[in-house]
Structure 1
């Protein structure tokens, strides 16, 4: 049996709150075995951009990344947010290394084709360089990926962090038994959106179809669950969704997703 690998994705709800981030870093640093962290930072990029007089443009919840916006997200994702997380992990004995997809040619992508909407320098992933990532893990390092990829022609691309986490988990599944963790503000997938503890603890393909039909899974949860099942169909062992407390060894209040 292959060694187990944990891939954890965190978003703005953790990054934006110092106490939440500190708690997350503490829990993540204590996770046993090889692990990879993927982070976003869109809220921070919007804040910094506004200070610079660059207003974020969004469509269907996704950032339109023009030239100026790309400069902002590169500064914020790969600089401010990434290095802050790496420094905090180092302080807790986790030998983290901050990366974009361009570093070590780890994540290759192409610029999203223009259809109804031109998303600018948004990247859709083509390939994960699993060998380079594995070399880092075998050297005792913990990769920390920001939400940037590259096209191998010198162009950086803004890429959805949930998708990066999913594709990295898929890419590493030939070497490891991979588990993907999505940490967000809820305790899991909820039966009732207004009831914080109404967590559905296990979802498989059949229940997923029922939940879709009944409208339980909707809005922002739709793309997240799509990424989950895409990963599972590509040999990721399991996916877990919940708040940062699901990383505690004795936690059972989160959603586990399997085929």
Structure 2
């Protein structure tokens, strides 16, 4: 099977025009089949504030009411997505910008009420959750085989006319898993750190390779914590479902993917 990279970028890259342009140059130069998934950055929060729409976060997760959904759909699927697509076209990378609603490619389910740590039941509003059947892998495969580079924003739909705000890390993971039967697929998370670090304040403490057992030990020792835990939990779950590997590293190190020196690599034990 041919290879496929599913690469996710976060708001820290999107919010910095210089860093974003540099990343898009590197992404365009990456040879082979590839898909880009992006989050939203600070623009949606700023626009919400300008419009008098209050943003609410509960345990790090955004509550998406009707007004917030309008803003994130405009920003994520509109301005950010099309700026990225235009930036890739500038680099002769034939990108096509998509939401999950386009071509019915990603169908989500509205998140049910959640019980949080203080005992409250929370309605996260128009937030979409995904499962193994959410993605139409054949539709994406046809786009890639036709020579397009899909660029997905973090907006999906429920099949009944409702758009949903969906976590971009999860979208990237589910897309990668769904295509793992058609390609030798690698999932790549690009963010501001060099990878998984033993000491979050020391870039030289990079862990180059990690398996599930080592991850459990590092969590137990408190070396891996906070926001890195859900990212790694999702990553190891994806590997268990057939991915070749998951890589986590710094956006400006993307060219190192090909020579296997990029960030931290999560692999199954052979």
Q: Which category of TM-score, normalised to the shorter sequence, fits these structures?
A: over 0.9
C-alpha contact 2:15 2:41 (8 A) present in aligned 1: no
* Residue in structure 2 matched with residue 85 of structure 1 by the alignment: 84
TM-score by length of 1: 0.97
C-alpha contact 2:184 2:244 (8 A) present in aligned 1: yes
Cα distance in 2 for partners of 1:81, 1:227 equals 25
Structure 1 residue 247, shift from structure 2 partner: 1.3
Cα distance in 1 for partners of 2:216, 2:180 equals 25
Cα distance in 2 for partners of 1:119, 1:42 equals 19
Cα distance in 2 for partners of 1:226, 1:15 equals 24
* Residue in structure 2 matched with residue 150 of structure 1 by the alignment: 157
* Residue in structure 1 matched with residue 35 of structure 2 by the alignment: 36
From 118, 122, 128, the counterpart of 1:117: 122
Q: Where do residues 218-233 of structure 1 align in structure 2 (5 Å cutoff)? A: 218-233=225-240
Q: Where do residues 56-205 of structure 1 align in structure 2 (5 Å cutoff)? A: 56-115=55-114, 116-126=121-131, 127-205=134-212
Structure 1 residue 153, shift from structure 2 partner: 0.5
TM-score by length of 2: 0.93
Cα RMSD for the two superposed structures: 1.0
Structure 1 residue 204, shift from structure 2 partner: 0.5
Structure 1 residue 252, shift from structure 2 partner: 2.0
| Distance change >3 Å, CA 171–CA 131, structure 1 → 2 | same
In structure 2, the residue corresponding to 1:8 is in which secondary structure?
strand
Cα distance in 2 for partners of 1:157, 1:185 equals 27
Q: Deviations over 1:170-227 (max 9, x none)?
A: 0000100100000011000001111122110001011111111111111100110011
In structure 1, the residue corresponding to 2:203 is in which secondary structure?
coil
Unaligned runs of 5+ in 2: 115-120
Cα distance in 2 for partners of 1:194, 1:246 equals 18
From 260, 265, 269, the counterpart of 1:256: 265
Cα distance in 2 for partners of 1:23, 1:239 equals 22
Cα distance in 1 for partners of 2:94, 2:109 equals 31
Cα distance in 2 for partners of 1:165, 1:43 equals 20
Structure 1 residue 246, shift from structure 2 partner: 3.0
In structure 2, the residue corresponding to 1:38 is in which secondary structure?
strand
Q: Deviations over 1:9-51 (max 9, x none)?
A: 0000100001110110011001111100000004221011111
Cα distance in 2 for partners of 1:128, 1:251 equals 29
| Distance change >3 Å, CA 36–CA 253, structure 1 → 2 | closer
Structure 1 residue 251, shift from structure 2 partner: 6.9
C-alpha contact 1:245 1:251 (8 A) present in aligned 2: no
From 237, 250, 254, the counterpart of 2:244: 237
* Residue in structure 1 matched with residue 2 of structure 2 by the alignment: 3
Cα distance in 2 for partners of 1:74, 1:226 equals 27
Aligned residues: 258
C-alpha contact 1:106 1:133 (8 A) present in aligned 2: yes
